[in-house]
Structure 1
């Protein structure tokens, strides 16, 4: 297996190995980046598979990765909150959430979603090889090119919309960036455009974190004392998001 299909197979295998490593790191509690790295691997895996539109047995594997992504999202939000509280030396508030974090990691490691993903990863190469041998994947790279163009167009349209949904803009930025990085040989984006997408993702990620913190402050009494400070920094995050979105629109059109 060589060429485009061989590269695809190799990329998925590397992500499978990385996901196994992230699982072991979570189990062993070796570092604070294991969950974050697992979610990055999941995004990269989905970015490889989503443009294939059902070919190469991608649908089932993409669905398993999406399910694990949804399960792990709230746990990652909690992890970010704890880290922020520790950075501000609010250790008591952070410590009160450590047990919740630990039980969440335990549930994740024992989850149906995690085991289903690894089963799908084990089964996927056989389906890829079968379709490749049957000549069903000969024009797959053309589908990826069309997907890349379509997602870029959607992002530009969202950025142009004066009443844009920033959550959707953030999702589209991630989708365009990770798909372009997954298929650099097919992407029309320049390195400068990719750097700006990464910057936009970081800025909108900060904006998203503030939304999450303020929402939790409404439900959790011990966080209410931070709400005024977060609302103030939220204004700066909002302004930064507007600025980077304007730069992205200029860069992509």
Structure 2
């Protein structure tokens, strides 16, 4: 997967590309060969990919012929996933089709348009001959296939300039853009060629929440952001991307927490909350295995090699990695099913047409500020209830509920930071401190149990189990430290509350 960072400009037919020798760090400007490129673009009949700024194409010609899937990350920044050309020009490779299932949701991918481009590339290089940036001067002919839209075929022609970073920094891109604009270029009116060609045929991804200071606007705006975050992680989860499972799981939990905390503003969402809990649990197995594998791997690195006896690393790192891989396969299977697609449909409908209560039209600061304070008071009540339990085992279970309440309070306060500022930030910080120290204790307890289970398997296989005991002792010590630290943490955060 490659990161594509570029600026695009609209230019007239008679535009003259200026001299680019004034770009910082550029020692040489080289005119490259001219390419003829033909790209066939695929989407659903209702243009679900285009609505999200995603492009999926099969391109012939040039130095990067093949299939390309581009996923937007930020303005001017996209992840590009490449796949070699296949024999069929009209069937999307399964590897790429799977990555857009969060958007297609079972709908067929069709060829919707074709772009024919005459491209002249200019390369900006440093003193060592290394490329910093490429400027592509494109003369484009675009064709929309009328059969997909029940209309006549449409053809358009235009010229545009793309400046793409290759090995330079932001200053190189900024200076190049300034020179191009000075010569008459203007920032592109569309985010990519396909968007320009399809124009008004592309439906809006969702109806934006009005920024009018109402409680409804604040809550729906936050929900919309979290839905977008969840869906954006989908293709990276399918590719086992770094931290992708964690980020998608967090988005699902933030959504569920917001729907619970702001139920006086957005109502009737218990069914969606249940499904968000379900998908978080699906992701949880793979995430938990990832965390514990990385934990054991780091812990093993701290041990003197003479203390590592038997095939401990194979059991605690390699075997866990294999189990994680199997869990990710189960995640992919679930994320290719109708229940998951139905959840995404419900989330889209939620942010497009939210079931708002009369409180939604009230001022956000007055309506939502009490919600943040209520979340923290819930943590305090849970803690007091836990401490009133005499039985140690039951008290420990109750402290796990304190941790969950702290996490919910943190998510709620985070959602309200843009509105409430410092008061929400303070609550979020307190809740995070409580959540983290309790989480360290819980992680240590879980790690000890896994080590005991693995030690038993090793013992049954006739292996030396000394290292498992050593690691279990280290985990026990870490959990005990967290347990002992908690009263001081609690005293500090509650003192701040007074």
8 Å CA contact 1:22, 1:38 repeated in 2 = yes
1:13 and 1:250 map into 2 onto residues whose CA distance is 36
190-199 vs 21-30, which deviates more?
190-199
Q: Give the number of the structure whose alpha-carbon radius of gyration is greater.
A: 2
**1:206 maps to which of 440, 449, 456:** 440
Q: Which residue of structure 1 lines up, in the alignment, with residue 379 of structure 2?
A: 155
TM-score (norm 1): 0.83
Matches within 5 A, 1:101-250: 101-111=324-334, 114-128=340-354, 131=355, 137-139=360-362, 144-161=368-385, 162=387, 163=389, 165-184=398-417, 185=419, 189=423, 191-221=425-455, 222=458, 224-225=468-469, 226-250=471-495
Q: Deviations over 1:59-82 (max 9, x none)?
A: 232222122122322332211110
- Change over 3 Å in CA distance of 1:115–1:109 after alignment to 2: farther
The 1:35–1:160 alpha-carbon spacing in structure 2 relative to 1, beyond 3 Å, is same
Aligned residues: 249
Distance 1:174 1:136 in 2: 25
What residue is the counterpart of 1:21 in the other structure? 232
Between 1:89-98 and 1:173-182, the stretch displaced more is 89-98
Task: Check 1:139–1:110 CA distance in 2 against 1; reply closer, same or farther (3 A cut).
Answer: farther
RMSD, aligned CA: 2.9
Greater RCO (CA < 8 Å, at least 6 residues apart)? 1
| TM-score (normalised: structure 2) | 0.45
- Deviation, 1:84, is 0.8
C-alpha distance in 2, partners of 1:189/1:213?
36
**Structure 2: how far apart are the matches of 1:124 and 1:28?**
28
**For residues 173 and 29 of structure 1, do their structure 2 counterparts lie closer, same or farther at Cα, with a shift above 3 Å needed?**
same
Higher strand share: 2
Q: 1:81 to 1:56 in 2, by over 3 A?
A: same
- What is the correspondence of 1:45-60 to structure 2 with a 5 Å cutoff? 45-53=255-263, 55-60=266-271
CA distance in 1, matches of 2:261, 2:328: 30
Gaps of at least 5 residues in structure 1 are none
| Structure-2 residue corresponding to 1:86 | 297
Q: C-alpha separation between the residues in 1 aligned to 2:292 and 2:269?
A: 34
Contact 1:203 1:237 in 2 (8 A): yes
User: Residues of 2 paired with 1:15 and 1:227: CA distance?
Assistant: 38
Change in 2 beyond 3 A, CA 1:53/1:9: closer
